[in-house]
Amino acid sequence: MATHAICDHCKTFVAIGDTKELGGVRYCGVCVGALFARCVGCGRLVSKAKSTRVDDSGHYACRDCRKQFAVKGYSYKPSLRFHAGKDEDLTAKTAFFGVENEVIASDIDTRNTAADALFSQEFLYAKRDGSITDNGIEFVSHPFTLQWAKENAKAFSPMLTPPGFSAGKWQASKTNKCGVHVHVSRSTFDNIDHQARFAWFWSMDQRWTLKISGRNDAGALRQWAGFESSYFDASENITRPTTRYRACNATNRNTLEVRIFNGRLGSHNNLLRCIEVVAAAVEYTRQVRDVRWMDIDDFAMFVSDRRDTYRHLAAWMIRTRQIAA
């Protein structure tokens, strides 16, 4: 009786007890570990090449099971992939942004199908969010620069027009529960004072902030993104944050998060406007170092002088008669 056999994959001569036959092919233990994994759903041994890696811990799911693992848990933290524009010169101060878009599906299958579609690309993922219903989902991006966002606007399509969108199976802006949150890297700011000016920017003219947010309910805005009562309070929030439910959430270690915007579906232009106003506020509060000189009219002039950089924001400000055409 033979005691050894050749692995059909690597051609190594090994003890038969250390091999496994799968699909009529004999593999050694090393090749089994390299080529196969236990499906986290059904427990079957499946080919890694024909299954999907569902997290950064090396877990795989077969084609029949992967959809149920497409929506990550609320605390899921992937290995970040940073996206910069073509030939973009990056420095330590380059601003990287991230977007979260909270939306609600009509049913669980629609939600999971949209999340499952994200397995094929590396820019977005989907996770649960405690502030929306069981059918709710939060589409989250990996970090990107403003230049990259403008060059690759279609990369946001899965979070704006997910499968079932044309059939009316999604909602966002019609409910007060959904929002768009835009993160910006803390490393782009000059210092703590710059961060405090940025935080105060979103509270200094609350009527304007409500307008740019796209919401029609000031109460809902204050519920999810409360305003600061003074620059001093904004500064305190930066150094000693107590809650994430601020217009500018400072509880994250590496980012500041602007939480004011209504949920978005359909239009790329509206989402790009949200990103651009955050980017413009970073640079405006870098330039204006005294909050006593900060106001929305001055900010409008700042944007008007940089229309090519903030094209979608400038177009909105023209439509709302804040700057001249």
Q: Quick one: 108 and 196 in the same domain?
A: yes
Do 155 and 261 lie in one domain? The reply is yes
Note whether residue 324 is domain-resident. no
Tell whether 79 is covered by a domain: no
301 within domain boundaries: yes
User: pLDDT digits over 76-109, tens only?
Assistant: 888 899 999 999 999 999 999 999 999 999 998 8
118 & 22 share domain: no
Q: How many domains does the chain contain in total?
A: 2
Query: What's the CA gap between 296 and 302, in Å, rounded?
Result: 10
Q: Same domain for 258 and 221?
A: yes
Does residue 311 share a domain with residue 169? yes
pLDDT at 173 over 70: no
What pLDDT is attached to residue 287? 96
- What is the distance between the alpha carbons of residues 257 and 252, in angstroms, rounded to a whole number? 8
Query: What pTM, to 2 d.p., does this model score?
Result: 0.85
> Residue 138 forms beta bridges with which residues?
102, 127
What is the reported pLDDT for 103?
A: 92
Confidence bin at 194 (pLDDT 50/70/90): very high
Residue 26: domain span: 4-72
Mean per-residue pLDDT, 36-54 = 87
Q: Are 8 and 154 part of one and the same domain? A: no
Quick one: average pLDDT of 199-216? 93
